[in-house]
Every structure is written in structure tokens, then in C-alpha cells.
Amino acid sequence: MNWLRSVWLVADAVLTTACASSPPHYHTLVAAAGDAVPEASTRPYCVNVERVTVPAQVDRSELVVRRNDGEVAILDNELWIAPLADEVKSAVSTEIQRRLRAAEPNVLDPVLRTISLHIEVERFESAPARYSMIEVMWQLRAKKPNDEVILTCRSEVFERVGSGYVAMVRGHRRGIALVADEMADSMRRLAVDGAATCSVD
């Protein structure tokens, strides 16, 4: 029986080594403070990003990626630091605030206290060493003294990425930043012109 015990000890050692060599890696969609756009004002705006929805296929803690052969893989050791919907919400909120703080506060203040955003992520695709893609339907609501403005737009961003999961996540960050550009642009036009329109490329 000693040989059997030895086999089990060796197997246990191999498994322990394998687990120790593959620690989990955590990723976030929220850009670091050093990646922020220049800010001319520190005044906060009360743009309310409401609950975000994401496709069920990617609504999990692990990163879900597309392989070259068309299969989809769930990466057990590559994880989001928070639920994906919360990651998108935090990233969009951060990017919008950065852009609006760089705008003229006296012009934007009255309207931007009343804006809310509903965000529905329709597609969120990740392909290592190929691309990161996000397609979003978003609705802007703004209360004016005697009226309410409702604007529904769609944004789609396709980013080519380098090898590695970090590069893939960075591609998603760039995509969210571009979506936030479109949202902030519509908010500025609403504040200046009194009418909201979707951003045109």
C-alpha cells in the first residue's frame, strides 16, 4: 500500500504545483487616473447612469472569449474585478464625468443636473490578438422646466487588439471611452442648443 500512498502524494503535489503556477488575474474596464482626459473644472455633474444590462452569454465573472476556430471559451483564471454590468456602468460614468468636467460649467450646469442614462449592451465580444467589440443601445433622459427630452441612440466600436488578455481588455476600455464621447457630445448639444441628437461620425 506504500506505493499507492506514494502515487497519491505525487499526484497531489502535481495538482498543487499546477494551481500555484496559475493564479487568477483580475481585470477592470475603468481607466486608470493617469489615462484621464484633461480636466478644466473639478465641479461634479449629476449625470445618473442607471442599471446596465449585458448579454447573458458574457454576464459572468470570467472573461468569455472567441477562439480562432469559432468556439467560445470561458477563462477560469482571467476574471473581472466586479460583475461585468457594474464594470461597464463604472467605466461609462467615469469617462462621462471626465469629459463634462472639461467643458464649460456655466453652460452645462442647468441641464446636466437632470440627465439620466439607461444602457443596454447588446454585444460584448472579445477575441484575443484580434479584436474587442462593444455594441450599445443607450437612452438619454433630461428633465427641462416644462418638458422632458428622451433620446435613444446606438453606438458600436470595433477595436483591433494585440496579443494577450490585457491588450484585449484595453481594447474594451478604448471602446467604452469612444461610446462615452458620443454620450457626452449629445449632452453638450442638449445643454447648448436645447435639443438632443445622436452623435454622427
Residue 86 identity: D
pLDDT tens per residue across span 62-76: 999 999 888 999 999
Segment holding 117, helix H or strand E: strand 115-127
> What's the topology of domain 25-193?
Rossmann fold (3.40.50)
Q: Is 19 helix (H, G, I), strand (E, B) or coil?
A: helix
**pLDDT grade for 15, boundaries at 50, 70 and 90:** very low
Give 8-28 as a 3 state SS string.
Answer: HHHHHHHHHHHHHHCCCEEEC
pTM: 0.81
List 155's β-bridge partners, or say none.
136
**pLDDT grade for 14, boundaries at 50, 70 and 90:** very low
Say if residues 138 and 120 touch (Cβ distance below 8 Å). yes
Q: What is the pLDDT of residue 108?
A: 59
pLDDT tens per residue across span 40-97: 555 556 788 888 999 999 999 999 999 988 899 999 999 999 999 999 999 999 999 8
CA distance 18 to 6: 18
- Strands annotated E in 7-61: 25-27, 48-53
The mean of the pLDDT values for the chain is 82
Say if residues 99 and 184 touch (Cβ distance below 8 Å). yes
Segment holding 158, helix H or strand E: strand 147-160
Q: Show Cβ contacts of residue 100 under 8 Å, excluding neighbours closer than 6 positions.
A: 45, 47, 108, 112, 184, 187, 188
